[in-house]
């Protein structure tokens, strides 16, 4: 008597097939939140175990990540090419130093002017003025697209550099001016006043600024993620794919272009304030075209349209030259300032320039795409096939053949 292989009913197969992805999704969600909690815990205790160099580098990364997220909303999500990001950074930084700075000073042709208002007022006004500048430019952006918009926005950078060089009482001119220390409700983010110790570790300016940058970067990240998941975020993505289709679907193209320029410019203004706090001063060379190109490099490396990818790109582009400068004595071909060889800044540009080429050729989704692929492998327990479809396991001898009427992956079986 020959044995017959009895296959389970179709309903049981469907139930087991649907239960597998559900369990995998719940497990993946738990793993995701565990990793997020571990990362936040690491960032919170970071100042207790690392020295000032790493804290200063981290604060610079936080500021750059905010600006990169804002530019990604404009370029990656909406598809509007902009080279004016350095201009909006300058608006935020200059506004902060003028509003919260004091009048007087030496070393310039004219005495510096300042309103002497609380630093939190200078930060808020700097962000609002940067957003207002973006809103003023948005009618021009609404009528241009592609390379034409990029060339038009490029003019803002040259205007900004000229104003910083010539408006000496406000900006300090060619020599720049110092940025006032940040304080909030009487608490100073400086080296003293008040003296602060946590678990035996002195919390001076670097430690305090680390937490300030961390809070602001997390707030910027959460706001951008929620924006993209909302109805306006979906409208912006539709606008990127096709303006005609977006208009047919009822999206006000002109209004949404103006709003995203407003939001992106406000992000840049906040990034400019943190940049001024990071280096302690502002100068014309801090807001040139090179800075705009660096921010474009951040979002391309991180992945266009990805909020987390923009933060990863900011980490790579911002921290790399600082690390090269710190370890120039042990790195090959990299030299300290004033010595022979390649300087740390140029070496970093060569490296992330080569990284951009590799990303464009082999991983257009950027660092975010690589991270997503690794996460997908971890969840499934095996490498996904090309195109994101999991390769089915080979059939065992004597097992029932795979049904030919199985629904395709991604289809709706309801």
pLDDT of 200 higher than 80: no
Asked if 47 contacts 212 with a C-beta cutoff of 8 angstroms, the reply is: no
Residue bearing the bigger pLDDT, 412 or 173:
173
Going by C-alpha positions, the residue among 276, 279, 280, 319 that lies closest to residue 298 is 319
Confidence of residue 401 (pLDDT cuts 50, 70, 90): very low
Within 13 Å of residue 294, how many CA atoms lie on the same side as its CB?
Answer: 26
Angle at 266 between CA 209 and CA 52, to 5 degrees: 15
pLDDT digits (tens, 9 = 90+) for 16-26: 545 555 555 56
Supply the pLDDT for residue 293.
Answer: 92
pLDDT of 303 higher than 80: yes
For range 275-293, the mean pLDDT: 91
Supply the pLDDT for residue 240.
Answer: 82
pLDDT of 405 higher than 50: no
Supply the pLDDT for residue 23.
Answer: 57
Asked if 289 contacts 86 with a C-beta cutoff of 8 angstroms, the reply is: yes
Domain map of the chain by residue range? Answer: 46-288
Angstrom CA distances, 299 to 74, 90, 167, 294, 345, stand at: 11, 20, 32, 9, 19
Confidence of residue 336 (pLDDT cuts 50, 70, 90): low
Confidence of residue 68 (pLDDT cuts 50, 70, 90): very high
Supply the pLDDT for residue 381.
Answer: 58
Between CA 229 and CA 342 the distance in angstroms is 44
Query: Which of 7-11, 87-91, 346-350, 400-404 has maximum average pLDDT?
Result: 87-91
Supply the pLDDT for residue 406.
Answer: 42
pLDDT of 178 higher than 80: yes
pLDDT of 47 higher than 70: yes
């Amino acid at each position: 008597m020959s044995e017959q292989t009895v296959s389970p009913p179709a309903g049981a197969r469907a139930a087991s097939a649907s239960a597998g992805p559900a369990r995998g999704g719940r497990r993946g969600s738990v793993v995701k939140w565990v990793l997020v909690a571990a990362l936040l815990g690491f960032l919170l205790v970071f100042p207790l175990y690392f020295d000032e160099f790493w804290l200063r580098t981290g604060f610079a990364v936080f500021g750059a990540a905010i600006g990169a997220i804002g530019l990604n909303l404009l370029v990656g999500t909406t598809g509007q090419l902009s080279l004016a990001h350095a201009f909006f950074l300058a608006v935020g930084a200059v506004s902060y130093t003028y509003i919260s700075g004091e009048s007087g000073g030496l070393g310039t042709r004219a005495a510096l002017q300042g309103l002497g208002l609380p630093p939190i007022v200078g930060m808020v006004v700097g962000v609002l003025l940067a957003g207002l500048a973006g809103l003023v430019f948005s009618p021009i952006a609404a009528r241009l697209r592609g390379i034409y918009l990029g060339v038009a926005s490029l003019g803002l950078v040259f205007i900004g550099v000229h104003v910083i060089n010539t408006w000496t009482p406000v900006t300090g001119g060619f020599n720049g001016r110092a940025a006032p220390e940040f304080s909030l409700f009487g608490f100073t983010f400086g080296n003293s006043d008040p003296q602060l110790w946590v678990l035996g570790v002195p919390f001076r300016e670097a430690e305090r600024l680390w937490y300030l940058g961390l809070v602001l970067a997390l707030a910027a990240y959460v706001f951008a993620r929620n924006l993209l998941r909302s109805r306006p975020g979906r409208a912006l993505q539709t606008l990127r794919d096709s303006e005609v289709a977006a208009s047919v679907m009822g999206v006000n193209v002109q209004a949404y272009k103006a709003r995203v320029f407003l939001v992106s410019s406000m992000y840049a203004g906040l990034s400019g304030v943190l940049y001024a706090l990071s280096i302690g001063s502002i100068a014309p060379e801090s807001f040139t075209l090179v800075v705009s190109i660096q921010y474009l490099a951040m979002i391309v490396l991180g992945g266009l349209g990805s909020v987390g990818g923009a933060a990863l790109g900011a980490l790579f582009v911002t921290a790399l030259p600082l690390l090269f400068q710190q370890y120039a004595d042990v790195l090959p071909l990299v030299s300290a300032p004033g010595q022979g060889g390649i300087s740390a800044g140029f070496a970093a540009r060569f490296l992330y320039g080569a990284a951009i080429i590799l990303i464009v050729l082999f991983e257009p989704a950027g660092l975010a795409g690589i991270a997503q692929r690794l996460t997908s492998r971890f969840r499934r327990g095996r490498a996904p096939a090309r195109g994101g479809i999991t390769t089915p396991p080979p059939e065992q001898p004597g097992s029932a053949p795979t049904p030919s009427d199985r629904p395709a992956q991604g289809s709706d079986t309801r």
